[in-house]
A = this chain, B = another copy of it.
Amino acid sequence: MAKVDADQYVDIMRFYAHQMSLLDAQDVTGYVGTFTEDGVTHHVHRGEKLEGSAAILAHATKALPHYRTVVVRHWNDHYLVDETEDGEGFTVSYGSLVTLTDGDGRVRFESTFAVTDVLVLVDDGLRVRSRTIVRDRPAER
């Protein structure tokens, strides 16, 4: 896989800053707009695959009431970026730590995750074509 250059890498960092800001602001319409129309999210650890941005939006909208009493934030690190083999996009892998802050300012943690995305370039920027999320599980319990 070809290595991306510094400009592309920074563009990708900024894409995530933007997308995660939308997600953490619970702006589900804005968030889903960062996926392609045929975008897919796959929560491997709960065997849930959502195909197409309409399905992602419906699912996210339904989940919103569960998050009325907390602020959710995603803290990502160690983005590994490679061009996809067809040269039309990027594969990006990273770790994600999810915090839930309640009305008293207390912070809880909703596990840690390994995420792998395929990003594609469309007219006006990057979009997620697929997102695969795996909750961290040790080798032994």
Contacts and interface: CB of A to CB of B under 8 A. Distances in A.
Interface of A: 6-7, 9-11, 13-14, 16-18, 20-21, 24, 67-71, 73-81, 93-95, 97, 99, 101-103, 105-107, 109-112, 135-141
Contacts of A107: 97, 109, 111-112
A78 B16 contact: yes
Contacts of A95: 21, 24, 73, 75
B9 A138 contact: no
A122 B23 CA distance: 34
Number of copies: 3
B6 A80 contact: no
A34 to B, nearest CB: 13
